[in-house]
Structure 1
């Protein structure tokens, strides 16, 4: 994308609409600026390769450039954006290698946490997981729309957050969350076919059953299968979109 044309009138309007509810700078910490920009990135309000200008972001948010600059440094460290010397900061364009690295990392961490969760999770959490699994299954029976995909993404995120938090390993949980907050993870759900979504929903019920039975090996195994199926959906979509005509 040409940096000179990265902020047209439409994108400025979208950014302003997304962030207009932020309170004045004097009453909010720098973390809120970071979270506001991160939410806009997660919502694909900026295109891959688009340059983010401190002055324009500061104006949209109603803040000085200092908290914006710090937020962009944090987002760079987390892999959401990349800094190019003499050019500026631009939205990271995710590659197939990025996808493979994230799924490889998830396979190393998430099944382990699911196994630990099977030994520690509270009954109330299991009931909440079952409710979320029911909700995701219901979504698979409706036509696929932007709204249904968003509902699925939200329910799925809460489901897995409950499981990994129950393992009671805050460091691994934080590491996993930083990977799963990337736009690439949301893109995974867009890559799912109706069959993929239904299979994923069934796997959520199996995860619940494994946790309910306090079976760590089962929880680990089904979580590993769940992640591998998601990876296949992403790789298949990439292959479809990059086939020569």
Structure 2
């Protein structure tokens, strides 16, 4: 078993509530593995923002922080349209077709869980962004995406935002196919900002 992938998927599905401490021994018993892969998985997930420090050497599922969510979407709404602007002139029919296939998979008849929706959403954006051939900028955006995954998973589970996200993804693809790159970048900025504002407002409302 790949403990890292399984635990990450379970975190994204909300199987462990925010604020829950995670002990190596309990996680090892839960997944039926030794403590060594659990230790490595916990350390990796902590470095990616899925877990936070707890006590002297422990970890816990972090609480949702509206300010962190806001910072993440503010950075994404600046960097991702820039990356798309650099990618747009290089996008060809094969790359755009692959991106559409991913969107169609998200529309498929079978119900997808939050982890799979998040994976496919990022795969869609990856199809577009890699055409920029800007590895440093791409890696920065990818790191932001990793930090956003638990928020995106929550949004898909609790705020029913996937329908809106899909509609805007298809609109974005149409603009790119029509070579309307400026409009596509503006739509992407709106796409990220609108979702971010909804999420931040939700977290602030349940905290107050």
The normalised TM-score by structure 2 is 0.80
How far apart are the structure 2 equivalents of 1:149 and 1:76?
A: 23
CA contact (8 A) 1:116 1:216 kept: no
Q: 1:132 to 1:35 in 2, by over 3 A?
A: closer
Residues matched between the structures, number: 205
2:67 to 75, 93, 97: 97
Greater CA deviation, 223-232 or 39-48? Answer: 39-48
Match of 2:152 in 1: 185
Rg bigger for which structure?
Answer: 1
Match of 2:183 in 1: 218
How far apart are the structure 2 equivalents of 1:67 and 1:105?
A: 33
Match of 1:114 in 2: 84
SS across alignment from 1:147: coil
Give the Å deviation of 1:108: 2.3
CA contact (8 A) 1:80 1:91 kept: yes
Q: 1:220 to 1:70 in 2, by over 3 A?
A: same
CA contact (8 A) 2:65 2:203 kept: no
How far apart are the structure 2 equivalents of 1:170 and 1:40?
A: 30
Match of 1:175 in 2: 140
Give the Å deviation of 1:58: 2.6
Q: 1:170 to 1:129 in 2, by over 3 A?
A: same
User: Larger RCO: Structure 1 or Structure 2 (Cα < 8 Å, ≥ 6 residues apart)?
Assistant: 2
CA contact (8 A) 1:46 1:91 kept: yes
CA contact (8 A) 1:53 1:88 kept: yes
The normalised TM-score by structure 1 is 0.70
Give runs of aligned pairs for residues 229-244 of structure 1, distance below 5 A.
Answer: 229-242=194-207
Q: Deviations over 1:75-134 (max 9, x none)?
A: 222211112333621111121011111101211221112112211223112123334445
Give runs of aligned pairs for residues 1-245 of structure 1, distance below 5 A.
Answer: 22=1, 32-86=2-56, 88-134=58-104, 147=111, 150=114, 153=118, 155-181=120-146, 182-192=149-159, 197-242=162-207
Give the Å deviation of 1:161: 2.5
SS across alignment from 1:80: coil
Greater CA deviation, 120-129 or 219-228? Answer: 120-129
Note the residue ranges of structure 1 that are not aligned, 5 or more in a row.
1-21, 23-31
Q: 1:158 to 1:62 in 2, by over 3 A?
A: same
Note the residue ranges of structure 2 that are not aligned, 5 or more in a row.
none
CA contact (8 A) 2:14 2:154 kept: no
